[in-house]
């Protein structure tokens, strides 16, 4: 039987199942049952499908405080390897993580682009470049779905920033939509047949993404002939009939939402045809069928693998460490890296002691452990390393480290939680391993709690302790006879932000050693109906799913030894650097900056980190800077230091991976996935704040990132997309091109002139003959070459990058012949140009 006949047979069979259901039953299946599950149906053998975030770790069904799962290197590190095998391996590993937890659909990859470096959520997405993004996504999806777990491409489409994301309108030309923002989706559909997608929060050209007949029906389903399912982003659906008719197949989460009875009524009223509903159900059953959630033809649901590597197994450690290192990027190096084999090293910085291994928001997971650079480097270099804390890097309090807390009831790390009803009755009492919990969202209580009481014993020494809390409500945090209190409320208009960026407070108190803390919060749920419907500018309909969001969000205890002053920390760092001779300063961003639900306002490193680097560089003989951030930061001290390594958000093995890279045990083979602007504002696309009409214009068209820099739309960047030195040294020899059967092929001879084996990523850009067309990456291929050896690398270029969208005819047209193939290590280091016929 051919694949097509098999698919047709399956579709006929699935269609029969749809036909057995009443309208009410069908509609019931089209909204989630809980935050992350769907209703099943015994009658047709449909299991309740389970979904889980996210792109770099399969968190499970709890939004906060779930079981420990493997934390992967973030998306920019995966893309930074420019290697399909790495992306495929990540997809396979995530499928295994999903299978262990009986998850059918992993909510990733995120294939939105790094349009402006201010986007808060870029750490979850791959790159500024659509081709690198699409190719990485396709490899990841192939790896994942090859193991029977569904991937979900998100967020369809033009969701490149977070500010007012539920209400803003991305105004994008059809050309930019096709050539840039839809391309990764198209590639992952054509090259990997992704089984599902997620429609974004924002509007696109005036129409909510969840109602985009043009994008969802016309382009994705019809033009691409794609038979997968489109679900809404969580609470993103803004209407009943328009979304059902506009191509959305499934509303998430549940059990409430704008479909349900309202969709049944809309069908009865003739606003939505039953055939349309059937189409959605068919796609849902097809997804279930593919992901092992449908029993049929006498088959049992797919067997789940039994012997999967544990989240902290040696196998996972090796994989996660290697994958992180492969994406790390050496952006500057005067020879200080790898570190010399002898001599002392002063390791400095808050990020060295408290390495940021993941970004904030729905991509967060509870890892089995996180490793710091201090642990990693000390494990490798022993007493050659001295460690000094650095300046403060956050402005907001963070949930307490569970190791600093012990639940008095169990004696184990964490805290005791009691939730009370309005009449004081106890609703639930439990132990939480984490100091952060979510209330009223993914729990299962009969009534809304009115009060939460958190109890714990601190592992503090007598003296100053930072104490406080996170989450909306009226708080009293008591320790012995001391207490602090605050009334915390939400200010934004975005219910997601309340979940992901809740208000916080803290104070320093003098406490006796081993203080017992009781934090009580009177919960004040936000009335979104009043707040959002009451604002005419938002223009929300009564049907909007956002109005169902009554979640209180995150509730957490803040407790930590009181921090020392920045002045004292800088003085100590200088002294340590002077004494050791070699300093490694780890600086970076935190989940305050790199998070879902908020954008950045600047690329300047937070706090006094720039000053710390400058002062250390002046004191040390050699200074290496490690940037623990996924996205561009400014480096005003670049000329004063000897080497810079961009380490991304490297996952649970991050500290060990950074250490292995610093010592040269592993090569940091990454290339930048996004250009680093030289100054704030100096980028082809910058603003992320919509105007007063909530419009964000993508005026930059197809000239984002290196395409725009190259065209002179912004001053030259500090570092170009594609830049990355690794530990080899490369000479480029002959470059030849020809038109192969599948398009342009470029053969490039490279010689590793260094004294160690190394990996080179050969990048081919196309500089089109047309003046109005941006230069663009069209192909790349990695190669491992022994010291002193030469290799010829054949780069097959992707024909989808050699077409232009013609708005006049509404079709693709090939680019004019001619132009040049540009072979470059990032466009700041062009090695060859070949004229094309």
Residues contributing to the site for ligand BGC (CB under 6 A): 53-54, 107, 154, 233-234, 362, 496, 596
- Between residues 165 and 316, which has the closer beta carbon with respect to ligand BGC? 165
3-state secondary structure of 293: coil
Q: How far apart are CB 52 and ligand BGC at their closest, in Å?
A: 9
Q: How far apart are CB 158 and ligand BGC at their closest, in Å?
A: 14
- What is the end-to-end Cα distance of the chain in Å, rounded? 43
3-state secondary structure of 251: strand
Q: How far apart are CB 598 and ligand BGC at their closest, in Å?
A: 12
Q: How far apart are CB 363 and ligand BGC at their closest, in Å?
A: 7
Task: Cite the DSSP H helix spans in 255-313.
Answer: 260-268, 274-290
- Between residues 123 and 475, which has the closer beta carbon with respect to ligand BGC? 123
- Between residues 497 and 506, which has the closer beta carbon with respect to ligand BGC? 497
- Between residues 438 and 752, which has the closer beta carbon with respect to ligand BGC? 438
Residue 108 — φ and ψ, nearest 5°? -175, 165
How far apart, in whole angstroms, are the C-alpha atoms of residue 83 and residue 392?
36
Task: Cite the DSSP H helix spans in 174-294.
Answer: 174-176, 183-192, 241-245, 260-268, 274-290
- Between residues 53 and 83, which has the closer beta carbon with respect to ligand BGC? 53
Using Cβ positions, the residue closest to ligand BGC within the complex turns out to be 362
Closest CA to 252 of 203, 171, 196: 196
Cβ-based burial of 162 (10 A; exposed 0-12, middle 13-18, buried ≥19): buried
Residue 722 Cα distances to 345, 626, 749, 829, angstroms: 30, 19, 18, 9
Catalytic residue flag (residue 680)? no
Q: Could you write out the DSSP letters of every residue in 759-783?
A: EEEEEEEEE-SSTTS--EEEEEEEE
Q: How far apart are CB 666 and ligand BGC at their closest, in Å?
A: 31
How far apart, in whole angstroms, are the C-alpha atoms of residue 624 and residue 639?
12
How far apart, in whole angstroms, are the C-alpha atoms of residue 628 and residue 631?
9
How far apart, in whole angstroms, are the C-alpha atoms of residue 238 and residue 169?
13
Cα 177–Cα 181–Cα 184 angle in degrees, nearest 5: 130
3-state secondary structure of 677: coil
How far apart, in whole angstroms, are the C-alpha atoms of residue 684 and residue 688?
13
Closest CA to 231 of 203, 253, 213, 255: 253
Q: Is 270 left (phi over 0), alpha (psi -120 to 50) or beta?
A: left
- Between residues 361 and 728, which has the closer beta carbon with respect to ligand BGC? 361
- Between residues 53 and 249, which has the closer beta carbon with respect to ligand BGC? 53
> Checking DSSP bridges between strand 51-52 and strand 105-106, what pairing results, if any?
parallel
- Between residues 596 and 610, which has the closer beta carbon with respect to ligand BGC? 596
- Tell me which of 83, 129, 169, 233 is the catalytic residue: 233
Q: How far apart are CB 107 and ligand BGC at their closest, in Å?
A: 4
Please, what sign has the CA dihedral across residues 82, 87, 88, 93?
A: positive
- Between residues 173 and 550, which has the closer beta carbon with respect to ligand BGC? 550
The b-or-e profile of 214-224 (16+ CB within 10 A means b, else e) is bbbbebbbeee
Closest CA to 598 of 474, 676, 689: 689
- Between residues 597 and 750, which has the closer beta carbon with respect to ligand BGC? 597
- Between residues 55 and 607, which has the closer beta carbon with respect to ligand BGC? 55
Please, what sign has the CA dihedral across residues 112, 115, 121, 124?
A: positive
How far apart, in whole angstroms, are the C-alpha atoms of residue 625 and residue 608?
15
How far apart, in whole angstroms, are the C-alpha atoms of residue 433 and residue 415?
7
CB atoms within 10 A of CB 526: 18
Q: How far apart are CB 237 and ligand BGC at their closest, in Å?
A: 13
CB atoms within 10 A of CB 386: 15
How far apart, in whole angstroms, are the C-alpha atoms of residue 67 and residue 86?
26
Q: How many CA atoms lie within 13 A of 446 on its CB side?
A: 6
- Please say whether the beta carbons of 613 and 651 come within 8 A: no
Q: How many CA atoms lie within 13 A of 733 on its CB side?
A: 12
Q: How far apart are CB 388 and ligand BGC at their closest, in Å?
A: 38
Residue 518 Cα distances to 275, 301, 307, 483, 484, angstroms: 57, 47, 42, 9, 11
Q: How far apart are CB 234 and ligand BGC at their closest, in Å?
A: 4
Residue 735 Cα distances to 604, 745, 782, angstroms: 40, 11, 16
Q: How far apart are CB 368 and ligand BGC at their closest, in Å?
A: 21
- Between residues 407 and 591, which has the closer beta carbon with respect to ligand BGC? 591
3-state secondary structure of 86: helix
Q: How far apart are CB 186 and ligand BGC at their closest, in Å?
A: 20
Q: How far apart are CB 496 and ligand BGC at their closest, in Å?
A: 5
Q: How far apart are CB 443 and ligand BGC at their closest, in Å?
A: 15
> Checking DSSP bridges between strand 150-156 and strand 643-646, what pairing results, if any?
unpaired
Look up residue 828 and give its DSSP letter.
T
- Between residues 109 and 376, which has the closer beta carbon with respect to ligand BGC? 109
Please, what sign has the CA dihedral across residues 631, 636, 639, 642?
A: negative
> Catalytic residue numbers?
233
């Amino acid at each position: 039987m051919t694949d097509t006949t098999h698919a047709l047979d399956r579709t006929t069979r699935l269609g029969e199942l749809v036909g057995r259901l009443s309208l009410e039953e069908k509609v019931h299946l089209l909204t989630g049952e809980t935050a992350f599950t769907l209703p099943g149906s015994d009658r047709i053998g449909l299991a309740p499908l389970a979904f889980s975030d996210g792109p770099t770790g399969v968190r499970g069904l709890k939004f906060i405080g779930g079981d420990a799962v493997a934390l992967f290197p973030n998306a920019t590190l995966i893309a930074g390897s420019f290697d399909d095998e790495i992306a495929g391996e990540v997809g396979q590993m995530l499928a295994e993580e999903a299978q262990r937890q009986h998850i059918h659909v992993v909510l990733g990859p995120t294939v939105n682009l790094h349009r402006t470096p201010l986007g808060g959520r870029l750490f979850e997405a791959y790159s500024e470049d659509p081709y690198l993004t699409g190719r990485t996504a396709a490899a990841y999806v192939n790896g994942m779905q090859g193991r029977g777990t569904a991937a979900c491409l998100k967020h369809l489409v033009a969701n490149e920033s977070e500010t007012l994301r539920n209400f803003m309108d991305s105004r994008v030309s059809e050309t930019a939509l096709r050539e840039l923002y839809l391309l990764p989706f198209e590639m992952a559909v054509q090259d990997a047949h992704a089984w599902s997608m997620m429609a974004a929060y924002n509007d696109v050209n005036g129409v909510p993404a969840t109602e985009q007949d043009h994008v969802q029906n016309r382009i994705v389903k019809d033009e691409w002939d794609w038979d997968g399912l489109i679900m809404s982003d969580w609470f993103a659906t803004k209407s009943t009939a328009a979304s059902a008719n506009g191509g959305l197949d499934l509303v998430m989460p549940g059990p409430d939402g704008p479909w349900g009875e309202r969709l049944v009524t809309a069908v009865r009223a003739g606003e939505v045809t039953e055939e349309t509903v059937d189409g959605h159900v068919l796609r849902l059953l097809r997804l279930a069928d593919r992901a092992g959630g449908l029993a049929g033809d006498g088959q049992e649901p797919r067997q789940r693998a039994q012997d999967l590597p544990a989240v902290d197994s040696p196998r996972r450690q090796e994989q996660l460490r290697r994958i992180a290192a492969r994406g790390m990027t050496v952006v500057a190096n005067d020879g200080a890296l790898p570190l010399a084999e002898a001599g002392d090293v002063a390791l400095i910085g808050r990020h060295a002691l408290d390495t940021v291994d993941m970004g904030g928001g729905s991509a967060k997971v509870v890892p089995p452990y996180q490793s710091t650079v201090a642990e990693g480097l000390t494990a490798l270099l022993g007493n050659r390393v001295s460690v000094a804390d650095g300046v403060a890097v956050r402005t907001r309090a963070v949930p307490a480290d569970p190791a600093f807390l012990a639940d008095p009831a169990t004696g184990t790390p964490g805290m005791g939680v009691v939730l009370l009803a309005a009449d004081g009755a106890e609703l639930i009492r439990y132990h939480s391993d984490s100091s952060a919990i979510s209330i009223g969202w993914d729990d299962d209580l009969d009534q809304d709690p009115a009060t939460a009481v958190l109890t714990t014993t601190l592992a503090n020494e007598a003296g100053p302790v930072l104490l406080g809390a996170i989450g909306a409500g009226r708080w009293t945090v008591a320790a012995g006879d001391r207490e602090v209190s605050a009334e915390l409320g939400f200010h934004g208009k975005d219910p997601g932000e309340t979940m992901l960026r809740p208000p916080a407070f803290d104070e320093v108190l003098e406490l006796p050693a081993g203080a017992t803390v009781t934090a009580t919060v009177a919960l004040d749920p936000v009335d979104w109906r009043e707040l959002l419907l009451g604002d005419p500018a938002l223009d929300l309909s009564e049907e909007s799913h956002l109005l169902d969001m009554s979640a209180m969000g995150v509730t957490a205890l803040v407790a930590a030894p009181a921090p020392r002053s920045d002045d004292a920390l800088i003085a100590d760092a200088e002294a340590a650097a002077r004494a050791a001779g070699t300093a490694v300063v780890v600086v970076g961003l935190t989940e305050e900056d790199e998070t879902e639900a908020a954008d950045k306002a600047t690329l300047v490193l937070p706090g006094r980190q720039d000053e710390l680097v400058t002062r250390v560089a002046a004191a040390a003989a050699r200074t290496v800077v490690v940037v623990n951030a996924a996205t561009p930061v400014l480096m005003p001290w670049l000329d004063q230091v000897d080497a810079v390594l961009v380490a991304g958000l490297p996952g649970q093995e991050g500290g060990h991976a950074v250490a292995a890279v610093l010592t040269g045990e592993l090569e940091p083979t990454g290339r930048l996935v996004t250009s680093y602007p030289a100054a704030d504002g100096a980028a082809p696309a910058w603003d992320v704040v919509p105007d007063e009409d909530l419009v964000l214009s993508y005026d930059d068209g197809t000239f984002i990132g290196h395409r725009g820099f190259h065209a002179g739309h912004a001053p030259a960047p500090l570092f170009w997309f594609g830049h990355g030195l690794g530990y080899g040294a490369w000479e480029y020899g002959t470059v030849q091109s020809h038109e192969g059967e599948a398009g342009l092929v470029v053969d490039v001879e490279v010689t590793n002139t260094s004294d160690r084996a190394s990996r080179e990523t050969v990048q081919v850009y196309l500089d089109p003959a047309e003046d109005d067309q941006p230069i663009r990456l069209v192909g790349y291929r990695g190669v491992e070459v022994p010291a002193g050896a030469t290799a010829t690398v054949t780069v097959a270029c992707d024909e989808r990058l050699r077409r232009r969208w013609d708005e006049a005819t509404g079709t693709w047209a090939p680019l004019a012949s001619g132009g040049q193939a540009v072979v470059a290590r990032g466009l700041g280091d062009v090695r060859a140009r070949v004229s094309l016929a």
